Chains A and B, each alone.
Chain A
Amino acid sequence: NAGVTQTPKFQVLKTGQSMTLQCAQDMNHEYMSWYRQDPGMGLRLIHYSVGAGITDQGEVPNGYNVSRSTTEDFPLRLLSAAPSQTSVYFCASSLGFLTGELFFGEGSRLTVL
């Protein structure tokens, strides 16, 4: 069992570039989510999904898009990167909505110049 796998682990972008952070889980979890972690701000929810084909916004969704075409994958797209999006991004999943513990990936560290 790989759990929650995120790629890439590190990425440097220039302002205005776009990219996709990949997230995959092999636990057949219905619920998946993306967080960003910033010093002094803690972890904040960007987007989440309660199942394939269903996504919704979290606390800080601006500048990010998500889709959920399969149960396993939940990519996060940065449309036009800005320095304010420099952060560590975590994908997390759980068995269901409001059920069970949350499993986190190892994180993707993004720097936008």
Chain B
Amino acid sequence: KQEVTQIPAALSVPEGENLVLNCSFTDSAIYNLQWFRQDPGKGLTSLLLIQSSQREQTSGRLNASLDKSSGRSTLYIAASQPGDSATYLCAVTENNAGNMLTFGGGTRLMVKP
């Protein structure tokens, strides 16, 4: 059974710092990997989607990389801002699981002014 782990569970950084969030998964037979943002009391917003054949995706200050063979993905946030404070979740889609996303537990990020 696929397991997705995110480390650290919580992170507090000063504004302006560059930071990396980690995601690891146990079964490399994935179709894609997505990074989501969740604000308190809200739904999830998709940030980046990386297909299994891709190595990375970029959107503004966000860059996500994927190393399928080692079962790892990272989300890099450049020049962090207080508005980046949220919980970040990664999720993998497997080829044979009815588009079932397996989610990690999330990293709760606090960016201090």
Contact = CB atoms under 8 A, between A and B. Distances in A.
Interface of A: 4, 31, 33, 40, 42-45, 48, 50, 56, 58-59, 90, 92, 94, 97-98, 100-107
B60 to A, nearest CB: 16
Q: Is the interface of A mostly helix, strand, loop or mixed?
A: strand
Contact of B99 (A33, A40, A103): A33
Contacts of B91: 43
Determine chain B's interface SS by DSSP, over half rule.
strand
A90 B101 CA distance: 13
Nearest to B1: A59
Contacts, number: 56
Contacts of B98: 48, 50, 56, 58, 97
Interface residues on B, range: 20 to 34
27 contacts: A4-B43, A31-B99, A40-B105, A42-B89, A42-B103, A42-B105, A42-B106, A43-B89, A43-B91, A43-B101, A43-B103, A44-B103, A45-B100, A45-B101, A48-B100, A90-B43, A90-B44, A97-B99, A98-B95, A101-B49, A102-B34, A102-B46, A103-B46, A104-B44, A106-B43, A107-B41, A107-B42
